[in-house]
Amino acid sequence: MTDLIPELRTPSAPEGTGRVRAGMAVSRVDGRAKVTGEARYAAEHEAPGLCYGVAVNSTIACGRIVRIDLVDALTAHGVIAILTHENRPRMRDADLAYKDMTAPGGSPFRPLYSDRIFYSGQPVALVVAASFEAARHAAALVRVTYESEEHQTDLLASLGQAYEPRPMKAGFTPPSSKGDAAKAFDAAPVKVDAQYYNGVEHHNPMEMHASTVIRGEDGHLTIYDKTQGSQNCRWYVSRVFGLSKNKVTVRNPYVGGAFGSGLRPQYQLPLAVMAALKLKRSVRVVLTRQQMFSFGHRPETWHRVRLAADLDGRLQAIMHEAIQETSRLEDYVEVVVNWSGQLYACDNIDLGYKLVAHDRHSPIDMRAPGAAHGVHALEVAMDELAYALKMDPLALRLKNYADVAPIEGKPFSSKALRECYRMGAERFGWKSRPQEPRTMREGDELVGWGMATGVWDSLVMVARVSAELRADGRLVVSSAASDIGTGTYTVMAMIAAEAMGMPLEHVIFQLGDSNLPPAPVEGGSSHVTTIGSGVAGACDKLKKRLLRLAQALPESPFAKARMRDVEFADGALSLRKQPGQRLPLTELLAASQLDRVEEKFLMTPQMLKQRKYTRAVHSAVFCEVRVNEALGMVRVTRVVSAVAAGRIISAKTAASQVRGGVVWGISQALHEESHTDHRFGRFMNHNYAEYHVAVNADIHDIEVLFAEEDDRVVSKQLGAKGVGEIGIVGVAAAVSNAIFHATGKRLRTTPITPDKLLLGERALPAQP
């Protein structure tokens, strides 16, 4: 393995951190680099002669480009070139690039590919200049003439055009059904039948999408990109532009948030590469905040949920249908309704999922894709059923607790959801909750308590990891993983330090470079179970190698020792029964005349074993709201989120992930929505001033609890699951249910804004 890559020379933990073990609350090893500005992001890497690109975006939603007038823009000061569909470098089919990538499958958008306009905001030109300011000025001088065609962007007005998804995205499981749900629903004495709706949401990470392409004298491209997978982007660039992968290196050592927006390469990457190839220069392209609203979003979704129960509260039927938007370019799909067939025991389940094609950019994955919307609809419907039964909402869920997966009939690899219910309810004080709405008040505010269940898949992928012990006692562990702010650097270093019995400050984890051992994208809450298991596996192989070296030393006390007879602790190898027989690892390498020892591990899922089980992460969310009815204002004053996510490796970063998910769930419930003017097919509130997100004043007490689990089916090496996605799931439903308990007003759409509390929701369409 090569020496440490300068940009990836992540500071290790402070001296004195000492030994670590799973479950400890360890501060981030990259924290100091981030707060001091030492960490450099995609748009912060310099190169001699670097030039700057600014994209020009379309103003129509559907049609074609008739003419692009570049005269004024080309004569502007500092302009070097302007790329359009007429003069761009040759591009190959982007679908070809995706066959070898771990990004979501489908037909990714190709910028500047032709004169066709597929959505408002589509890039139609790239202005390249000597400075960002010059490029931005010239971009405003580009004049584009369009031939506009009729467009469609209104989901609720086009539900009747819904169709079954065509080619399926990799990893998408079409919904299944069992029994005769329609017959059971008709026969049941207690029923709920309602429509639910979730508006469009956009990713707004702190770091905007950017690509800095540094061209070497030999033509090699070193690309710093905001991405959740450096190797994804390398495959994309090499295949689309016909370059050898040895001519492209992609790095993403630091990523300022992504949560799905970086799973696919976004359009600034091919634009920057086009310019670098065309001009044979280094180029940087950074999207503006407004342009962050022009490459994908969490899709708008309509649901119809029907639940039926007997008089004791046992579910007789679950029926969940969803219709979601997609683009004209592909059938983007999400697992929206499948969760309704996983959470509760029921003999009759009917699930349906359809799409409507619109003149918009393809939706893209956004934290807990599908579940954030699907579970919201189900869990609000469950609350409605509880009131129809005059039953406590938690008691209803416990009454229908699923010990095996309802549709598949498989046991769960582990499931401590019942313990989550117990822990969360006890900490929240749920037993003191009055059943009837509008019974709690404090001053001018009504007080309400609501709860919901959360669920997410436990995913494991394929990865390679290298572990290298060096003569100075440092352990360098490497994989082309990513850290989008979730704590990958820290948790991987913890796993390695615990496995090798080394102080944390002696461990360095290298990630964020496409030349490192292969790794999947950081998505789906799979990095700990995948990369982390690979780290543990590589360290186990390294320990065996070190024992063999110790056995080979002259007159070695370890000559006949086996792995079970020895211990790795404090940077040394010792005999368990003779602790005095201790050999520092630095001395072992010196005696073996080696400056480093390296082992590699291929992490693969236990497919045969995993197929026998349903693997999932669960949560129970309890929420308190205070509502000022006169103003229509809602405050979420208290949340308890109890999570069952396998063995928790890093308590501090895991709790932080869940807490951040809760904040986003509150934002989904009360604030976030991108509004479309359907006359223009354009998102109108494309800035931080008008796209509302939760801020500090909106967030109060959030407590995170973890139930004990140890899942060796999901993760043989660690017993862990993922915690990144689960934090948001169920939060919006818990908030909605708490608002009903406070006010008696049932609101079935997100976000729940003051106008809806004051005037009521607009009527949703019935079944198309």
What are the structure tokens assigned to 482, written together?
């990513």
Region of residue 275 (left: phi > 0; alpha: psi -120 to 50; beta: else): alpha
Residue 96 has pLDDT above 70, yes or no: no
**Cβ count within 10 A of residue 180:** 14
pLDDT, one tens digit per residue, over 212-259 is 999 999 999 999 999 999 999 999 999 999 999 899 999 999 999 999
Taking residues 567-588, report their average pLDDT.
94
Nearest to 126 by CA among 213, 217, 236, 228: 213
Element containing residue 148 per DSSP (H, E): strand 143-148
549 by DSSP, 3-state: which? helix
Q: Is the pLDDT of residue 98 over 60?
A: no
H/E element, 272:
helix 268-279
* Interatomic CA distance for residues 411 and 431, integer angstroms: 30
* SS3 labels along 598-629: EEEEEECCCHHHHCCCECEEEEEEEEEEEEEC
SS3 for 564-597, per residue?
HHEEEECCEEEECCCCCCEEEHHHHHHHCCCCEE
Crossing angle of helices 533-551 and 488-500, in 10° steps, is 30
Q: How far apart are CA 410 and CA 341, in angstroms?
A: 12
Pairing of β 190-198 and β 301-309: antiparallel
Q: How far apart are CA 451 and CA 736, in angstroms?
A: 9
Closest residue by Cα to residue 253 from 566, 6, 615: 6
Is it the case that residue 8 has pLDDT exceeding 90? no
Phi and psi (nearest 5°) for 664?
-65, -35
**Which CATH number applies to 370-459+607-761?**
3.30.365.10
Which superfamily, per CATH, for 43-150+206-293? Aldehyde oxidase/xanthine dehydrogenase, a/b hammerhead (3.90.1170.50)
> Are 185 and 191 spatial neighbours (Cβ–Cβ below 8 Å)?
yes
pLDDT for position 732: 98
**Under DSSP, is residue 121 helix (H, G, I), strand (E, B) or coil?**
coil
Q: Which helix (H) or strand (E) holds 465?
A: strand 463-470
Q: Specify the amino acid at residue 571.
A: G
Residue 85 CA from chain centroid, whole number? 32
Give Dmax over CA atoms of the chain in angstroms: 86
Catalytic residues: 725
User: How far is 134 from 73, CA to CA, in rounded Å?
Assistant: 10
- For the stretch 721-744, pLDDT in tens is 999 999 999 999 999 999 999 999
Q: DSSP characters for 359-406?
A: SSPPP---SSTTHHHHHHHHHHHHHHHHHHHT--HHHHHHHTB-SB-T
Query: Which pair of tokens denotes residue 544?
Result: 């065996």
pLDDT tens for each residue of 33-85: 999 999 999 999 999 999 999 999 999 999 999 999 999 999 999 999 999 99
Chain-centre distance for alpha carbon 115: 33
- Tell me, what DSSP letter sits at residue 532? I
Q: Which pLDDT score is estimated for 125?
A: 98
Inter-residue contact 23 to 517 (CB < 8 Å): no
What residues contact residue 635 under an 8 Å CB cut-off, 6+ apart? 445, 625, 626, 627, 698, 700
Cis omega before residue 751 (within 30°)?
yes
Class of domain 6-39+461-604 (CATH, top level): alpha beta
pLDDT at 109: 83
Task: Give mean pLDDT, residues 573-586.
Answer: 93
Q: What is the Cα gyration radius of the chain?
A: 27
Per-residue model confidence (pLDDT) at position 363: 95
Q: Residue 91's pLDDT is what?
A: 87
The predicted model gives 439-445 an average pLDDT of 96
pLDDT for 103 beyond 80: no
pLDDT over 70 at 18, yes or no: no
Give Cβ neighbours of residue 443 (< 8 Å, ≥ 6 apart). Answer: none
Alpha carbons 408 and 614: distance in angstroms, whole number:
8
C-alpha–C-alpha distance, residues 587 and 370, integer Å:
53
Please give the share of the chain, as a percent, with pLDDT higher than 70. 95
pLDDT tens readout for residues 643-698: 999 999 999 999 999 999 999 999 999 999 999 999 999 999 999 999 999 999 99
Mean pLDDT of the chain: 94
Query: pLDDT digit string (tens) for 298-353?
Result: 999 999 999 999 999 999 999 999 999 999 998 999 999 999 999 999 999 999 99
Q: What is the pLDDT of residue 170?
A: 61
What is residue 95's predicted lDDT score, i.e. its pLDDT? Answer: 59
User: How many CB atoms lie under 10 A from the CB of residue 761?
Assistant: 16
Per-residue pLDDT at 1: 47
Looking at the predicted structure, is the pLDDT value of residue 97 above 50? no
pLDDT value at position 169? 67
DSSP state of 762: P
Rounded CA gap, 67 and 163, in Å?
A: 36
Q: What is the pLDDT of residue 762?
A: 85
What pLDDT was estimated at residue 767? 66
Mean pLDDT over residues 347-365, rounded?
Answer: 96
| Residue at 233: amino acid letter | C
Give the residue extent of every domain in the chain: 6-39+461-604, 43-150+206-293, 370-459+607-761
Place of tokens 């799409």: 355
Per DSSP bridges, beta strands 248-251 and 190-198 are unpaired
Tell me the average pLDDT across 375-382: 98
Query: Residue 756 pLDDT more than 60?
Result: yes
- Taking only the tens place, the pLDDT of each residue in 511-541 is 999 999 999 999 989 999 999 999 999 999 9
Q: How many CB atoms lie within 10 A of CB 700?
A: 14
Residue 105's pLDDT is: 64
> What CA–CA distance (Å, rounded) separates 130 from 80?
7
pLDDT at site 100: 46
Q: Which residue has the tokens 């390249």?
A: 128
pLDDT at position 20 over 90: no
- 92 forms beta bridges with none
Q: Which residue reads 């950017």 in tokens?
A: 210
Res 613 pLDDT > 90? yes
- Of the pLDDT bands very low, low, confident and very high (cuts 50, 70, 90), residue 22 is confident
543 token code pair: 């320990």
pLDDT tens per residue across span 537-557:
999 999 999 999 999 999 999
The span from the CA of 315 to the CA of 304, in Å, is: 17
Distances, alpha carbon 541 to alpha carbons 157, 185, 537, 546, 548, in Å: 59, 56, 6, 9, 11
Position 16 scores a pLDDT of 59
**Do the domains at 43-150+206-293 and 370-459+607-761 have one common CATH topology?**
no
pLDDT greater than 70 at residue 381: yes
To the nearest 5 percent, what fractions of the chain are helix, strand and coil?
25, 25, 45
Specify the pTM: 0.95
